[in-house]
Amino acid sequence: MVTVATLLLVRHGRTTANADGGLAGRQPVELDETGRTQAAAAGERLRGLPLTTVVTSPLIRCRQTLELALPDASPIVEEGLIECGYGSWEGQPLKKLAKDPLWPVVQQHPSAVVFPEGEAMAAMASRAVAAVRSWDARVTAEHGPEALWLACSHGDVIKAIVADALGVHLDLFQRIVADPASVTVIRYTPLRPFLVRLNDTGGDLSGLVPPQRKRRRAPRRVDSDAAVGGGAGSAR
């Protein structure tokens, strides 16, 4: 098994928009009290992991999540991890959006969707996958193949990254779940990605730390005669 870096994808905690049933998009909505509790609980699980790098969506709900979960970290903002641009859908109640003719397309054929005055879902998936793959290569180059690193992002973004890791079409990504403050783990090997955990909201994460490699012993020096069977009692 090839040793490679390990990516932990963390979704932000619950927001006021999540609680109210609205589509936040790129609006500056913040964590509600439940979300803050979720972020702190995620921090308890992440504590002790030797994270070499932490990157985040620029939106405040992700930065707040990391401030609570990893207060000693210095997250790097990665624009490629920002929420999908939902355009004029942003800020609308989901109940209202569910009556829009575009809604069933979003659910069943998302690769064809371009949100009004917004972003194409395929474009969101492409830039998010490119961002995490680029960071994974960078982390590996700088910190070695056993590094653990973390990226904090949004539900649809994480689902798109998971779909890519599984090798499934974007049209199937609505079958994937990424709950608030959940942890999803991916390893990118030279031949294929491996989805190690999905939507983990309570499991022990200490097993993600790779074991230290044992140093190989130098070969024991052997007398040259003995090496060819030339001992004193050998037949001649």
Chain center to CA of 183: 7
Instruction: Give CA separation, 113 vs 43, 129, 150, 205, 218, in Å.
Output: 35, 18, 29, 36, 60
Q: How far apart are CA 85 and CA 87, in angstroms?
A: 6
pLDDT in tens, the chain (236 residues): 568 999 999 999 999 999 999 999 999 999 999 999 999 999 999 999 999 999 999 999 999 999 999 999 999 999 999 999 999 999 999 999 999 999 999 999 999 999 999 999 999 999 999 999 999 999 999 999 999 999 999 999 999 999 999 999 999 999 999 999 999 999 999 999 999 999 999 989 999 998 766 655 555 554 444 444 444 444 43
Q: For the full predicted model, state whether its pTM sits above 0.85.
A: yes
- Cβ atoms within 10 Å of 160's Cβ, excluding its own: 26
Q: Residue 165: in which H helix or E strand, if any?
A: helix 155-166
The answer to whether the CB of 7 falls within 8 A of the CB of 151 is: yes
DSSP string across 11-57: EPPPBHHHHHTB--TTS---B-HHHHHHHHHHHHHHTT--EEEEEE-
